[in-house]
Structure 1
Amino acid sequence: MPAAVIVVASGAVPLDDAWARVCTLSPVIAFLAAVLVLAELCAEEGLFVATGHAVARLCRARPGRLLPGVFVVAAVITAVLSLDATVVLLTPVVFATAARAGAPTRPPAYACAHLANSASLLLPVSNLTNLLAFAASGLSFGRFAALMALPWVAAIVIEYAVFRWYFRTDLAAPPAPTVEPPRPEVPLFALLVLASTLAGFVVTSFVGADPVWAALAGAVVLAARALYRRTASVRGLLTAADPLFCLFVAALGVVVTSVVDNGLGGALGRILPADSSWPALLATATIAAVLANLINNLPAVLALLPVAASGPGPGPVLAVLIGVNLGPNLTYVGSLATLLWRRVLHDHGTNVRLGDFTRLGLLTVPTTLLAATTALWLVLP
């Protein structure tokens, strides 16, 4: 916020331009807040605990099933409720699930970090970077999902293959003795609201409305139920919306605008390819991945989208998205989600090994970038 005030006060960004940037980002920020509240209320309803218990029961006889189970659950939750839900809400459940299944915690814990980034390619709601790219792409909700489905699958399959090989020793360990915990109640109401919200995203896309209304409706329904049952408070709901993070996004948009308008935009315009050929898309995704690891993926996507959106069709914009979503699996600073994941692991007394994270990144990032970009090129018209 102080940086945004400084660039406006110094004239680096005129006040009218700064306000226009904030207004452009406001639907995205409102959507982000609604999805954060929706995810938190689903957690309060017991959705994550019930999911973890189901996975633990499935894996009790064969703990080797835990990793594929976590991959499926984390991929779906990331796609539907955003990567923040996977990092903040699912990761603690994964620790408890591994303990119930008598399985080692390292493979599924690291899977949560990787899938929070790589499984966020599918829907506009999966990541804040997706929301920004969705607004710049000119695509409908359904068309966006259709184009990103094959890249999403390609990235997840490669991640799983690498994890199976890298953690082969952990996965071969015999299960530890465990005690069956009580079976939690499945939150049918939360599942119904979540399914209705997803359907609402598609409907709003068809009628030309902003999908923020569908997210807001889902959050309001669950919030009203929680307030009536006194399982939530207005203060808690406001905290779940994370207003300081929303202000951070708005201020970051102004700061990045000043950098782009004063040199970075021209430099990126000279190095980014201007077509949707396979080499051009791969080069765009690679540049985006490198920039995400240098300055974090959120400012990277804000800097790259104006240039990519001027290209032919949605291909360059979606290639940027592939780069800024997959690239952060290489370093801790690549995304805010990874930094949050580190904090969650430390809170659970688990040491995050830089060597493991870096080696996994070196194995997965280049291969997933190549596969996902190739898949995007194949499905583009």
Structure 2
Amino acid sequence: MDLLGRVTGRLHALDWLAGALLGAGLLAVATGVLPYGPASDVLARIGPLLVFLATVIVLAELTGSAQVFDVVAAWVARAGRGSYAVLFALCVVFASVTTIALNLDTTAVLLTPVLLALAGRVGIAAVPLAMTTVWLANTASLLLPVSNLTNLLAADRVGLSPTGMAAVMWPSQVAAIGVTAVCLWGFYWRRGRRGAERYVPPEPPRPADPVLLRVCALACGGFLAVLLLDLVPLWAASSAAALVVVAAFARRRPRELSWSLVPWRLLVLVPGMFLVVETAGVLGLDRLLASAVGAHEGPLGVLRTAAVGAGFSNALNNLPAYVAGEGAVPAGHREQLLALLIGVNVGPLVTPWASLATLLWFERCRRHGVRIGLGRFMGTGLVLAVTGTVAAVAALELTS
């Protein structure tokens, strides 16, 4: 096989998709379908987002390699003291905190294999733990700018600091997590007990490198503290934390540092997706969405906006759904914009491509031999998408 064959033979279907989207976007710019001005504006807007995405994934990957997540997962299982119901509650909290503090893609990429391994260690079904990660990766991503790329995109338009956003969105976040927990228990955990009310807690793990584990844990904690204090831009905070962790690995385990840690697929997919959506907007998508979203900020108006965001996310993907929907929301309608965020964060649970986190999660499950029936995934996801979105919007309205 020639060099091209060897290279393309390693490409995943998502790599081909990412390349196709970027190619289509660049072609639209080259042919003048998408004017250079709007194209450069959108790329400049997502530049800091791409830096954050690259550095936070590197931080999360190396933190996982240092066994921070394994230690926490084992602690969660031991804290449950053998009670299946308590373990369920702790896993919900664990997945929610990971999403809120370290981004939904971290939950999908790193927490999924940790909880799947935990399922084997304590002798319970893997599917309930897998669904916990993918659902909470999406529905627990409302609270902070760092929690979801859509939140980062909305930061300037919403005009809220991290603490300000948390103060506004916490009721919606609590409502979304609460509905998710009810659906998880009813659809998956209750049936996954296999008739057992208890499990055997695992032995505490022995980290291969305790020093490296402590450094990574402190770097993640420092990143979260800087984020909440709003001291520096998000991309700068994630870059500094990643630099500390990379330096620690360079000193203690340099062989684990490689360019493969960088999420190249996402760094190609995201700009391609934005260029394609910007092109679609020029061709008439903006007018269509403006008509669908409307300009009313009453209870029905914000629910309508959230529903459009959720529907468009499941039809295409939540990132372009937010960008296109944002342009349809009138200036100054902050509550309507927050409702759009609820729709694109809580709503993309029906189709496998509705969010990047879900795509990454499916790949992780496949690698671990865990099969999720697509019919059941979409059916239960539809129930949660509808009830979770309505509950979160209602909470936003009641506290506004």
**1:18 aligns to what?**
39
1:166, CA displacement in angstroms?
Answer: 2.1
Counterpart position of 1:222:
245
**In the aligned structure 1, how far is the partner of 2:398 from the partner of 2:262?**
38
Residues 1:89 and 2:110 aligned together: yes
Secondary structure in structure 1 of the residue aligned to 2:297: coil
Matched with 2:215 is 189
CA distance in 2, matches of 1:191, 1:314: 36
**8 Å contact 1:193–1:218 — kept in the other structure?**
yes
CA distance in 2, matches of 1:317, 1:191: 35
TM-score by length of 1: 0.92
Mean Cα deviation higher: 212-221 or 185-194 = 185-194
Deviation of 1:370 after TM superposition, in Å, equals 0.8
Contact 2:84–2:198 (CA under 8 A) maintained in structure 1 = no
Question: How has the CA–CA distance of structure 1 residues 155 and 232 changed in structure 2, closer, same or farther, with 3 Å as cutoff?
Answer: farther
Cα distance, 1:114 vs structure 2: 0.6
Tell me the amino acid that sits aligned with residue 250 of structure 2.
L
Residue type at the aligned position of 1:198: L
| Contact 2:215 2:248 (8 Å CA) reproduced | no
**SS state at 1:329 partner:** coil
Q: Distance in 1 between matches of 2:255 and 2:332?
A: 47
Question: Whole-Å Cα distance in 2 between the matches of residues 358 and 70 of structure 1?
Answer: 22
1:323 correspondence with 2:343: yes
Change (3 A) 1:179 1:315: closer
User: In the TM superposition, what are the counterparts of 1:39-118 in structure 2 within 5 Å?
Assistant: 39-59=60-80, 61-118=82-139
Relative to 1, partners in 2 of residues 1:377 and 1:221: Cα closer, same or farther, differing over 3 Å? same
So what's the TM-score if we normalise by structure 2? 0.88
Count of paired positions = 374
Alignment map for 1:1-381 (pairs within 5 Å): 1-59=22-80, 61-167=82-188, 168-171=190-193, 173-174=195-196, 180-185=202-207, 187-203=213-229, 205=230, 209-231=232-254, 234=257, 236=258, 238-308=259-329, 310-380=330-400
- Range with bigger deviation, 279-288 or 295-304: 295-304
Query: d(CA) in 2 for partners of 1:88 and 1:222?
Result: 18
Separation (CA, whole Å) in 2 of partners of 1:272 and 1:220: 42
Q: 1:132 to 1:63 in 2, by over 3 A?
A: same
Shift of 1:307: 2.1
The AA in structure 1 aligned to 2:252 is: R
**C-alpha RMSD of the superposition:** 2.1
1:65 Cα deviation (Å)?
A: 2.6
Deviation at 1:276, TM superposition (A): 2.6
Cα deviation 1:207-243 (Å, max 9, x = unaligned)? 6x42211111111111111111134555x2x432313
CA contact (8 A) 2:142 2:173 kept: yes
Q: C-alpha separation between the residues in 1 aligned to 2:236 and 2:40?
A: 23
Matched residues, percent identical?
A: 35
Residue deviations 1:227-286 (CA, integer Å, cap 9, x gap): 11134555x2x4323134213212222221111122111121122132432211110000
- SS of 2:332's equivalent? coil
Letter in 2 for 1:199: A
Which string of whole-angstrom CA distances, capped at 9 and with x for unpartnered residues, describes residues 49-76 of structure 1?
A: 1011112223352233322221111111
**Cα contact 2:126–2:370 (8 A) shared by 1:** no
Distance of aligned partners of 1:229 and 1:13 in 2 relative to their CA distance in 1, 3 Å threshold: same
Which stretch shows the higher mean deviation, 241-250 or 170-179? 170-179
CA apart distance, 1:146: 1.7
Q: Distance in 2 between matches of 1:175 and 1:92?
A: 24
Q: Could you say if the C-alpha distance between residues 231 and 74 of structure 1 is closer, same or farther in structure 2, counting changes exceeding 3 Å? A: farther
Q: Distance in 1 between matches of 2:354 and 2:290?
A: 22
Matched residue type, 1:350: V
Conserved in 2, the CA contact under 8 Å of 1:274 and 1:311? no
- Unaligned runs of 5+ residues in structure 2 are 1-21
Closer, same or farther in 2 for the Cα pair 1:11/1:331, shift >3 Å?
same
The answer to whether the 8 Å contact 1:332/1:338 transfers is yes
Contact 1:4 1:251 in 2 (8 A): yes
Cα displacement (A) at 1:137: 1.7
Which secondary structure does the structure 2 equivalent of 1:350 belong to? coil
CA offset at residue 20 of structure 1? 2.1
Distance change >3 Å, CA 263–CA 349, structure 1 → 2: same
User: What is the alpha-carbon distance in structure 1 between the residues aligned to residue 398 and residue 220 of structure 2?
Assistant: 31
Shift of 1:333: 2.2
Aligned residues of 2:82 and 2:200 also touching (Cα < 8 A): no
Segment drifting more, 93-102 vs 367-376: 93-102
Q: Kindly provide the amino acid, as one letter, of the partner of residue 57 in structure 1.
A: R
Give distance in 1, aligned partners of 2:239 and 2:396.
31
Return the offset for 1:297: 1.1
CA shift digits 1:105-162 (9 cap, x unpaired): 2211111111111111111111212211223322212111221211111011111112
Deviation at 1:6, TM superposition (A): 1.3
Larger CA deviation: 137-146 vs 110-119 = 137-146
Query: C-alpha distance in 1, partners of 2:62/2:184?
Result: 31
3-state secondary structure, aligned to 2:141? helix
